[in-house]
Amino acid sequence: MTEQHLQAGPLPSGMQLHDDGRLRHLLTIEGLPRELLVEIMDTAESFVSVQAKTVKKVPLLRGKTIVNLFFEPSTRTRTTFELAAKRLSADVLNINIATSATTKGESLLDTLRNIEAMFCDMFIVRHADSGAAHFIARHVAPHVSVLNAGDGSHAHPTQAMLDMFTIRRHKGDFTRLKVAIVGDVLHSRVARSQIHALNILNTAEVRVIAPRTLLPADVEKLGVHVFNDMDEGLHDVDVVIMLRLQKERMQSALLPSAHEYFQLYGLTNERLKAAREDAIVMHPGPANRGVEIASDVADGSRSVILEQVSNGIAIRMAIMSMVTGAAQ
Amino acid sequence: MTEQHLQAGPLPSGMQLHDDGRLRHLLTIEGLPRELLVEIMDTAESFVSVQAKTVKKVPLLRGKTIVNLFFEPSTRTRTTFELAAKRLSADVLNINIATSATTKGESLLDTLRNIEAMFCDMFIVRHADSGAAHFIARHVAPHVSVLNAGDGSHAHPTQAMLDMFTIRRHKGDFTRLKVAIVGDVLHSRVARSQIHALNILNTAEVRVIAPRTLLPADVEKLGVHVFNDMDEGLHDVDVVIMLRLQKERMQSALLPSAHEYFQLYGLTNERLKAAREDAIVMHPGPANRGVEIASDVADGSRSVILEQVSNGIAIRMAIMSMVTGAAQ
Amino acid sequence: MTEQHLQAGPLPSGMQLHDDGRLRHLLTIEGLPRELLVEIMDTAESFVSVQAKTVKKVPLLRGKTIVNLFFEPSTRTRTTFELAAKRLSADVLNINIATSATTKGESLLDTLRNIEAMFCDMFIVRHADSGAAHFIARHVAPHVSVLNAGDGSHAHPTQAMLDMFTIRRHKGDFTRLKVAIVGDVLHSRVARSQIHALNILNTAEVRVIAPRTLLPADVEKLGVHVFNDMDEGLHDVDVVIMLRLQKERMQSALLPSAHEYFQLYGLTNERLKAAREDAIVMHPGPANRGVEIASDVADGSRSVILEQVSNGIAIRMAIMSMVTGAAQ
C-alpha cells in the first residue's frame, strides 16, 4: 500500500454513516453530527454499569467476528478493543499484518477480501499511515464495519470519544467548558480528533498550548485558541488534556531536551494552580513522567487518567454495538 | 524431529478412519473412500447456512479444546481453522512451536504428550516437513484427532476438500467435468491433494499444465493428463485451478523470469477463451497477480477465489465436527 | 522495574489471604496454613471429573477477565493457565510485556494500573526476577488477584500444588511418606515451593539429593535431609521428584558434563531399585532425557509425569475459582 493509494480520492465523512444516519464506520470524528457523538456517549453510559457487575459480559454480539487488523503493534490499544469485543460476547481474531501475509507478497486488498470472505463483521484497523482506515473502509463489503484505531498522525476517534465521555461524566455540559490541549499537537492524531469532537460538542473554548515547532501551520483553522505560554494557556480552564511527547521528536531537533521541555510545558501542581480549582487532568497514556507531566499530578486527585482507560472499554463497546446495529 | 523420524514406517491411509469407517484424522486425501468425501461436502453444506445467519455460531463443539500446532507460520491457514473452531464454540489454543518449547530442547513427542495430557481434543498441524502430521497422528492418544493443515510438499487435504466443495456447488456432478490444474505441480501439496480428490470423485478428466521442470517425474501415475502448452491444456475444460508460484522457485533457476512465466503459463482472459464458456477459475491464494494470473481474471466474473475462502470455513467446520463425532 | 523495587519491603505471606482466611493471591507456598493447601487439593478433585466429560467446561468464571502477564516467554505455563481459565469460561488476555508497553518506556506500575482499570480480575504473572509477583500483588487494586506463575529462582506455587495433588492421589497420607527431590535445588523455584508444601503437609521426611554446588548454603534450614549420593538418598523413598537441569548451569562450570552428571545423578531403572517398590517418579517437565532422567524411566510404569500435567489444569482451575470466590 503506497501513500498514493491512501491519498487517492476524497475522504467523504459521509461514508461513515448509513443512509438513515446510523453509524457504519468510525474513521474520523470530523464531520460527524453532534447527535451521533451524544448517542455514542449515551450508549457507553449503559455499558459502564455492565463493567461493575460480577459477570461483565452481555450477549449483544454473540456470533459476530471482530478482527483486530494491526499493521503496527500496539498492545494497549489492541487490548482495549479485544476486551470490549469479548465483553460483548463476540469472537475476536488478532491479525498482525506486518508479520504475516505481506511477507508472501499478498496485497492489502487481497488480504481484506480474504478476511471478509470468512464472514467477519468488523475490522479494527491500526496503521502507521494516515488514511489507511479510510482506504480500507472504502473497499470493504457492505456487511463489514471499520473502526479506526489510529492511523498515522491523522485520527484516533475512539480515543477522542472516550475523552469526551470522561469529560462529560465529570463536567456535564460542554458549552460552558474551557479545555486546553497541551503538547505535541503537530504529530498527534489524538489531539486532532479531540479538537474536532470538542468543537462538534460546542465546547465554549478549545485551546492548544505548545511551542510553535509542535503546532501545525494553520492550527487556528481547526477552531482553537493558540497559546505558547503554559501559564497563560492554563488560566481558568476546566479540563487539561496532556499529550504524550514522542521521544523521536526530541532527537529530531524539533525540541530541546526533555528536561528543558518539562521546564516550559510539563504539567506540575504549581502550574496547575492557573486552572480552575476543580479542573481535571487527562492523558491518553502512557505518560512520560517528568517529561510532559509530573508524577504527582499524574497520580494526583485531579487526574482522571485511569478513568479514561475504564471509559475506553465502555466507549468501544458502545461503538461496536452501534455499528453492528446491536446497541440497546 | 528428523526426516528419519518422519519417514519411519508406512503411512497407512487406513489410520485415518475408525473401525466403523468414520473419520478420525484427516492427513491426506489419498486412499479415502468416495462416500467420505461426499459426506464431508454434505456436512459442509449445512454449515454454509450457519455463516449467513446473524449469529454465526453453533454449540456443536462446546467444551472441546482445539490446538493450532503450527511449526511454520501461516496466518491465513491458522485463521481459517481458528474461525471454524470458534464458530463451533470450541476453545482454541494457538501454539507456535518454533518459538517456544523447542528452544528448551523439548522433543516434539514430549510436547505432544504434554498437550494431550491437558485433555485437548484436536491438533491442527502445519509443518514444513512432509509426513509430520502422519507422525503426530501415529503417536497421539485415542481421544485426539489430527488434521493436516499442510505438510511440506506432501498434502493439504482441507484445501483440496474446500476446492471440491466449491466445484460441486458450481458444477454438480464430477463425472462429466474436465479440470485443469496449472502451474508448479512439483512443489504443490495443494495440487497433490486435489488430484487425489478429483480422481476419487471420478472426475471425467484431470489435467495438469506446467513446464516440465515443474512436474514430478512420474506425474502420469497420479492419474492425470499432462500438457506443457497452456492453450491445449485449457481446451474445453470446466474448471481451471491455478497454483501459486513460489518466488523461491524462480530464483533457483527452475524457472525463467516472472514475466516470461506469465507469457507462457499466466492465466489471462484471452487464454481463458480456450476453456468452456461457463468455466470457473480457482486459486488457493494468495495469488501472485501478473505472475500466474492476470488481475482482471482473478477479480473477474468467472473467478470463484473468494467463494473458496468462504467455503473453507464451512469445510473445516464439517471436518472438525465429523472427527469429534459431533456432526449433525 | 529494578531489583531494588522488587526487594523493597518485607514479603508478608499474610498478604496472600483475606482477613477471613480465604485465598486472595497465590504468590508463594511459604507461610500458608495446612488447611488451605488441603482445600486447594479438595477443590481440584472436583475439577478432575470435569476434564473427563465431553463438555470440559463449567461457567464458574463467566464474565471474569484473566490476564496472562508474561515478562518472560513460557508457552507451557501460559498454556496451562489459559486452558484452566477457558474451562472456567473466563475471558483470557495474553499480554507479553517484553515486546509491548515497555518499548514505549511505560513503567510496570503504569501498565498494571491500566490493565486494572479495564476491570480485569486476575493477573497470572511470570517474571525472570524473584519477587516480581509479590511486587505486583502489593500494588494491585482490591478487586484483583495475583497468581505467581514462576518468578526467578524464588517460587512456582501452582507447580508445587499440582505436585502435592499428584502425590496425594497416589499415596494419600503425607505423614507417612519419604519424598526425595533430586537435582539443581539451588536454582529451582519449583524445589523451593515443593519443600515448603511438603513440610506444611507434614511429610514424614523430605530429602534433597544433589552435588554440593547445586544446593543452597543453608539448605538444611528449609527442613530437609541432604544427600550428595544418589543411592543413599533414594533408599526407601515413596516419591522421587526429579528437577530439570538448566543447560546454562553446565556451561557456567557449576557442573561437569551432561554425561558425567547423568552418571552421578541421572535417574535410571537400576538406581530406582533403591526406592520403595511402589515409588512414583515425578518431573515438572520438560525433561532432559539422558541428562537428569533416563528415557525408559520417564516413560516407564512408575512415571506420573503426564498425570502431573493433567492435574496441573485441575489445580489451576481450583486456585482460580478460590481466589475469585467462585469455588463450589
What is the count of structural domains for chain B? Answer: 2
Complex prediction ipTM = 0.87
Residue B128 lies in a domain: yes
- A22 and A90, same domain (yes or no): yes
- C144 and C162, same domain (yes or no): no
Contacts of C73 in chain B (CB under 8 A): 99-100
- C55 and C69, same domain (yes or no): yes
User: For C65, which of A56, A285, A309 is closest by C-beta distance?
Assistant: A56
A119, A139, A144, A324, best to mutate vs chain B, most B CBs in 10 Å: A119
pLDDT tens digits along A133-190: 999 999 999 999 999 999 988 899 999 999 999 999 999 999 999 999 999 999 999 9
Using CB atoms, which chains have 3+ pairs under 8 A with B?
A, C
| Cell of residue C205, nine digits | 521426611
Helix (H, G, I), strand (E, B) or coil at A130: coil
- A172 and A67, same domain (yes or no): no
Find residue A178's DSSP bridge partners.
Answer: A205
Burial of A183 (C-beta count, 10 Å sphere; 0-12/13-18/19+): buried
Distances (CA, A) of A97 to A118, A125, B75, B79: 17, 10, 9, 12
- A300 and A315, same domain (yes or no): no
- C111 and C232, same domain (yes or no): no
Find, among C78, C75, C76, C71, the residue nearest to C108 by Cα: C71
CATH code: domain of residue A116: 3.40.50.1370
SS (H, E, C) chain C: CCHHHHHCCCCCHHHHECCCCCECCECCCCCCCHHHHHHHHHHHHHHHHHHHCCCCCCCCCCCCEEEEEECCCCHHHHHHHHHHHHHCCCEEEEEEHHHCHHHHCCCHHHHHHHHHHCCCCEEEEEECCCCHHHHHHHHCCCCCEEEEEEECCCECHHHHHHHHHHHHHHHCCHHHCEEEEECCCCCCHHHHHHHHHHHHCCCCEEEEECCHHHCCCCHHHHCCEEECCHHHHHCCCCEEEECCCCHHHHHCCCCCCHHHHHHHHCECHHHHCCCCCCCEEECCCCCCECCCECHHHHCCCCECHHHHHHHHHHHHHHHHHHHCCCCC
Alpha-carbon distance A165 to nearest alpha carbon in chain C (angstroms)? 16
Residue B173 lies in a domain: yes
- C29 and C150, same domain (yes or no): yes
CB B88 within 8 A of CB A91: no
The count of CB pairs under 8 A between chains A and B is 65
Q: Which helix (H) or strand (E) holds B139?
A: helix B132-139
pLDDT value, residue B253: 63
Contacts of A54 in chain C (CB under 8 A): 63
Q: Do residue C76 and residue B110 have CB atoms under 8 angstroms apart?
A: no
The Cα–Cα gap between C304 and C284 comes to: 10
- Comparing alpha-carbon positions, the chain C residue that sits nearest to B94 is C79
Q: Do residue B93 and residue C82 have CB atoms under 8 angstroms apart?
A: yes
Burial of C142 (C-beta count, 10 Å sphere; 0-12/13-18/19+): exposed
- B261 and B316, same domain (yes or no): no
SS (H, E, C) A140-175: CCCCCEEEEEEECCCECHHHHHHHHHHHHHHHCCHH
pLDDT value, residue C75: 85
- The answer to whether residue B12 scores a pLDDT higher than 70 is no
- A72 and A105, same domain (yes or no): yes
pLDDT value, residue C249: 67
Find, among A20, A54, A88, the residue nearest to A317 by Cα: A88
Chain center to CA of A113: 27
Residue A328 lies in a domain: no
Find residue C146's DSSP bridge partners.
Answer: C123
- C132 and C162, same domain (yes or no): no
H helix runs in A93-131, sequence order: 108-117
The Cα–Cα gap between A280 and C7 comes to: 35
- C29 and C77, same domain (yes or no): yes
- The answer to whether residue A75 scores a pLDDT higher than 90 is no
Q: Do residue C75 and residue B110 have CB atoms under 8 angstroms apart?
A: no
- Comparing alpha-carbon positions, the chain B residue that sits nearest to C291 is B105
Enclosing domain of residue A200: 157-304
- Mean pLDDT, rounded, for C289-318: 96
Residue B24 lies in a domain: yes
- Mean pLDDT, rounded, for C14-30: 93
Alpha-carbon distance A85 to nearest alpha carbon in chain C (angstroms)? 11
Residue C328 lies in a domain: no
| Cell of residue A179, nine digits | 479545555
- Mean pLDDT, rounded, for C198-208: 98
CB A162 within 8 A of CB A283: no
pLDDT value, residue B100: 47
Residue B328 lies in a domain: no
pLDDT tens digits along A199-217: 999 999 999 999 999 999 9
- Pick the range with the lowest mean pLDDT from B19-33, B160-174, C252-266: C252-266
- C67 and C198, same domain (yes or no): no
- Mean pLDDT, rounded, for B147-176: 95
B118, B120, B139, B140, best to mutate vs chain C, most C CBs in 10 Å: B118
| Cell of residue A195, nine digits | 479538537
pLDDT value, residue A270: 97
- The answer to whether residue C103 scores a pLDDT higher than 70 is no
Chain center to CA of B242: 13
- The answer to whether residue B7 scores a pLDDT higher than 80 is no
Residue C210 lies in a domain: yes
Alpha-carbon distance B205 to nearest alpha carbon in chain C (angstroms)? 44
